[in-house]
């Protein structure tokens, strides 16, 4: 599902502020695997997630995500591929405060041209699955942290992507909610999703459902 070979990412190439963020990364993640990226701050975890998440292609090397080689896709197609293939969960959840819970969840369906009735139905189904039916019309900034987390997961799932990525998803959660987050991830894995989580939270790394820990150091994979 994810295949990287000799992937390099250089930010601001050729300029004074050039950063060589990823160096010769080789990584393969099979469908239905759940792996964790672990490494110090600045080691390149978010950059690696951005390439897997089709946010940008590598500076050099080959990245095949969900069956498509990124280097051959022009930007516009990269965006389309990302919308169809990737569900992203962020550290701060990135919900839009002024929108309702339902509108936040349905947001990824807008650029896909899904009809309004169908969007609403999908959003409602997911919110029900996560026990949030009673919060559907609430503004996203008027719900609890745990509810925000589940709304963010619902939003990442609404387009039914094969790949779920999460960047430090438990950083703002207490122990109970972090456990709950990993339980939901384990369930999604059982459903065949491929999952990559960047985290140094022990609750994540020690979770039995994680198949592999991938150690990232100075832009290289040193283990896993």
Ligand X SMILES: Nc1ncnc2c1ncn2[C@@H]1O[C@H](COP(=O)(O)OP(=O)(O)OP(=O)(O)O)[C@@H](O)[C@H]1O
Binding site for Mg ion (CB under 5 A): 46
Kindly state the smallest distance separating residue 180's Cβ from ligand X, in Å.
Answer: 23
Interface segment toward ligand X; rule CB under 6 A; list 40-48, 61-69, 108-116, 130-138? 40-48
Distance (Å, whole) CA 150 – CA 89: 10
- For residues 4 to 23, the per-residue mask of contacts with ligand X, x marking binding by CB under 6 A and - elsewhere, is -------xx------x-x--
Q: How near is the Cβ of 43 to Mg ion at its closest, in Å?
A: 9
Q: Which residues contact 113 (CB under 8 A, 6 or more apart)?
A: none
- Residues that bind ligand X (rule: CB under 6 A) add up to a total of 12
Residues between 42 and 71 with contacts to ligand X, criterion CB under 6 A: 42-47
Cα(70)–Cα(72) distance, rounded to whole angstroms?
5
Query: Should residue 39 be labelled a site residue for ligand X when binding is judged by CB under 6 A?
Result: yes
Q: Could you give phi then psi for residue 184, rounded to 5 degrees? A: -65, -40
Q: Is 138 in the site for ligand X (CB under 6 A)?
A: no
- Which residues does 167 contact at the CB level (< 8 Å), separation at least 6? 45, 46, 49, 88, 89, 90, 91, 198
Sign for the CA dihedral angle at 36, 81, 73, 16 comes to negative
The smaller minimum CB distance to Mg ion, of residues 132 and 156, is found at 156
Q: Is 170 in the site for ligand X (CB under 6 A)?
A: no
Least gap, CB of 91 to ligand X (angstroms): 8
- Find out whether 168 and 92 touch, Cβ atoms under 8 Å: no
Return the number of the residue (54 or 102) whose C-beta is nearest ligand X.
54
Pull the structure tokens for residue 19. 């950063």
Closer Cβ to Mg ion, 101 or 195, answer by number: 195
Contact (Cβ atoms closer than 8 angstroms) between residue 43 and residue 218: yes
Q: Which is nearer to Mg ion, 43 or 159 (CB)?
A: 43
Binding site for ligand X (CB under 6 A): 11-12, 19, 21, 39, 41-47
């Amino acid at each position: 599902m994810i295949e990287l070979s000799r992937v390099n990412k250089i930010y601001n190439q050729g300029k004074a502020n050039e950063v060589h963020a990823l160096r010769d990364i080789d990584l393969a993640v099979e469908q239905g695997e759940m792996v964790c990226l672990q490494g110090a701050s600045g080691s390149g975890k978010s950059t690696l997630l951005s390439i897997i998440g089709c946010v940008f292609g590598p500076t050099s090397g080959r990245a095949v995500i969900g069956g498509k080689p990124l280097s051959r896709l022009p930007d516009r197609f990269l965006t389309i591929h990302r919308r169809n293939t990737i569900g992203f969960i962020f550290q701060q959840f990135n919900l839009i405060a002024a929108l309702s819970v339902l509108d936040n969840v349905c947001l990824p369906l807008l650029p896909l041209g899904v009809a309004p009735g169908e969007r609403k139905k999908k959003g409602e189904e997911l919110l029900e699955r996560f026990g949030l039916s009673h919060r559907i019309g609430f503004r996203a900034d008027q719900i609890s942290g745990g509810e925000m987390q589940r709304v963010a997961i619902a939003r990442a799932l609404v387009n039914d992507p094969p790949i779920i990525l999460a960047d430090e998803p438990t950083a703002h959660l207490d122990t109970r909610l972090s456990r709950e987050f990993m339980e939901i991830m384990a369930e999604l894995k059982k459903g065949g999703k491929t999952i990559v989580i960047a985290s140094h939270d022990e609750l994540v790394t020690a979770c039995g459902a994680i198949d592999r820990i991938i150690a990232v150091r100075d832009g290289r994979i040193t283990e896993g």
